[in-house]
Structure 1
């Protein structure tokens, strides 16, 4: 295939199904930050974006990184012609792994597990906008067994014949999502969080007055991001004697933005900006605010929270999924109970009313974020793994009995969906609940 050349052994190929470009600067920003760190460390990196809508081999440059892109057939030809030392795969989907296994079976692979590509159906409960429709889909999936990606990943995790290592971004994600959904222990896995750029998100001691300024930066693309809880939190804070002193800045975009923020439009101390932001713009806003309000319904890490912490903002989030692994309640931030805007409001009010608490948590948030998500704890470790894949070898694998855990998860799922049905005026799901044990 013209346009593809063989490369030296010391080059590494990053492969993903998306990458930022000038028209979508936020897509897979976590991957771009890694690539920049790899290049800064002197690694020779090529990037291939597998794009099913790209009929020809094409290259473009984004922020100094050259990206090659093409559809699946072009990607397969590219792999056949490559001579990279290893493949660095983000989101190990079957159509990305298959050409590597077929045409380069002896070339090492490091595969990063980020989220959607590993999750079984019940992990998507936070997308239950239409509860009745969601439950129809749930019942269909349960009736017809696992979706196709689960057996593929189960085999990949235990592929003794393949030189492959895995990276996950949190212990919680590995132990509560990746392994339970596959039903096996993952062999040859390292837990390395996504990197936070501590130089860009630099710490400047916060003026106590900034505790009155609350920053929210979120996509408005689904219920996972809990933007409705942000709105309810602000409305709950109207009961606080300190409310008039508070300033809320909300930045984001997506199909749910307008309808979600509608109840806040008449509040004079709420600034609404419908826009996505570049990293430099986010860092500038960090310097102007003291609290980062970021509840969630599911997250394998919470990179934006880590970036805010690195800048010295005090995070107020939710004690759910992997968030407590990165925010220690009362030490490096404050965590509220899931689905509890009044608890979130109490956390914000505590910081506003206590400059001493705010100052202490601000300093500790920075220290904690840098220890857990700074380059030394993340991309430096990844670079060592890339140079020496044997560092990622372990043998913690085998079949496990997940039935009890799955039963608990199903109970929780149906409980949550019934809760949503009440709030969304949708039909209940009691008739679809799993049998009692």
Structure 2
């Protein structure tokens, strides 16, 4: 099988954050003997290899010429733009016109309105922030809505969503019901990389991996404030990540007088580094205002770290309260603090949740999820 993966961004050595979840899948496909090439719309031509995957940055009119030599296309966050060289709609129209089989992966922002789902991230005092929201909601969303409607009537297309909640988001934002052509397949977790261990001896050390953005969906303000409600001084929080708000977050931590108990590590972690970091922690605080799944949370669960998160969006599809993790009333930081302390006291609770979480994550091991994706692809060819 030959797969053309179409996406608006892809990891590079300098920018490893770029849609790493797409690359993780691609590596697994290649391990299964599938031929994979990635195409990224670009004004300028450029070829590179990232961890064994061939990546072609080409104008859209050159990309569409390449597609005829592939069996199927996989689409991840392929955006539309008013500039022809990078406009994804040209590729979508070509796929439909020439009846090329396609799997359309739904991740979130491509079907969500900023004014509805990301309104906390719009900065009223920042003109660029406002213009970005207007451009997305009034240009890109109508375009992708029209495209998805066309794909819905196209016999060689299936949609894949990482959670049931995300399918509901499609309906709430676009008023399109994809249930007849969609399959829920979570982002797979590499349970060979994330090896289970008992972290009880590190239970006072709490970890979270988030981009360094204080508010909005990443909710680091809530993570910091939770620590104010934890009475045990020996419980501390470490935040790993990179982002624009490092100094702002540090100021916020100092204002809350938590500099001794909350630490920021301004570093992007390579995927292979994350399980090494897990070894030095005992709990994972999956703080969030919005997540379709929470991949970092699921990876922590695989490693044996009991997770605490909020009952929002797609989280309850992965965290079953008191079984595979602790599910908190949305944004109730006092309740979150109480449960973090409970997990440091109650070893039986800690071990039970840790073991149950690992068993659950094994059901969404990346070898299983990617095989399901390939099976659907074969059915369309």
Question: Same-fold call, TM > 0.5?
Answer: yes
Q: Residue 145 of structure 1: CA displacement? A: 11
Give the unaligned 5+ runs of structure 1.
Answer: 1-9, 391-437
Deviation for aligned residue 1:180: 2.5
Is 1:200 aligned with 2:193? yes
The answer to whether residue 71 in structure 2 is matched with residue 85 in structure 1 is yes
Q: Deviations over 1:176-214 (max 9, x none)?
A: x012322122142111111111111111233x2211111
Pairwise mapping of residues 8-157 of structure 1 onto structure 2 (< 5 A)? Answer: 10-51=1-42, 54-56=43-45, 58-79=46-67, 82-94=68-80, 95-102=87-94, 105-120=98-113, 121-130=115-124, 147-149=141-143, 151-157=145-151
Q: How far does residue 46 in structure 1 lie from its aligned partner after superposition?
A: 1.3
2:233 to 231, 244, 251: 244
CA distance in 1 between counterparts of 2:25 and 2:206 reads 29
2:203 is aligned with 1:211: yes
- Residue of structure 1 equivalent to 2:161: 168
Partner residue, 2:339: 347
Q: Give the corresponding residue for 1:321.
A: 313
Task: Decide which structure has the larger Cα Rg and report it.
Answer: 1
Cα distance in 2, alignment partners of residues 61 and 146 from structure 1: 30
Residue 230 of structure 1: aligned partner: 223
Question: 8 Å contact 1:317–1:335 — kept in the other structure?
Answer: yes
Tell me: CA distance 1:205–1:320, structure 2 relative to 1, closer, same or farther (3 Å).
Answer: same
Residue 190 of structure 1 is matched in structure 2 by: 183
Q: Deviations over 1:405-424 (max 9, x none)?
A: xxxxxxxxxxxxxxxxxxxx
Provide the C-alpha distance between the structure 2 equivalents of 1:169 and 1:250, rounded to a whole number of angstroms: 25
Selected match of 1:272 from 264, 275, 299: 264
RMSD over equivalenced CA pairs, Å? 2.8
CA deviation after TM superposition for structure 1 residue 128, in Å: 4.2
CA distance in 1, matches of 2:89, 2:98: 10
Where 2:362 maps in the other structure, the secondary structure is helix
Aligned residues: 367
SS of the residue corresponding to residue 300 of structure 1 reads coil
Change in Cα spacing, 1:217 to 1:98, as seen in structure 2 (3 Å) is same
Tell me whether 1:287 sits opposite 2:276 in the alignment: no
What is the alpha-carbon distance in structure 2 between the residues aligned to residue 146 and residue 250 of structure 1?
A: 33
Does the residue aligned with 2:243 lie in a helix, a strand or coil? coil
Q: Tell me how far 1:48 sits from its aligned partner.
A: 1.1
Spell out structure 1 runs of 4+ moving beyond 6 A. 131-141, 143-146
Q: Which whole-Å CA distance do the structure 2 matches of 1:324 and 1:151 have between them? A: 27
TM-score (norm 2): 0.88
SS in 2 for 1:273: strand
Report the secondary structure of 1:148's partner residue: helix
**TM-aligned CA distance change 1:149 to 1:318, over 3 Å:** farther
User: 8 Å contact 2:36–2:54 — kept in the other structure?
Assistant: no
Kept in 2: contact 1:291–1:313 (CA 8 A): yes
Name the SS for the 2:105 alignment partner: strand
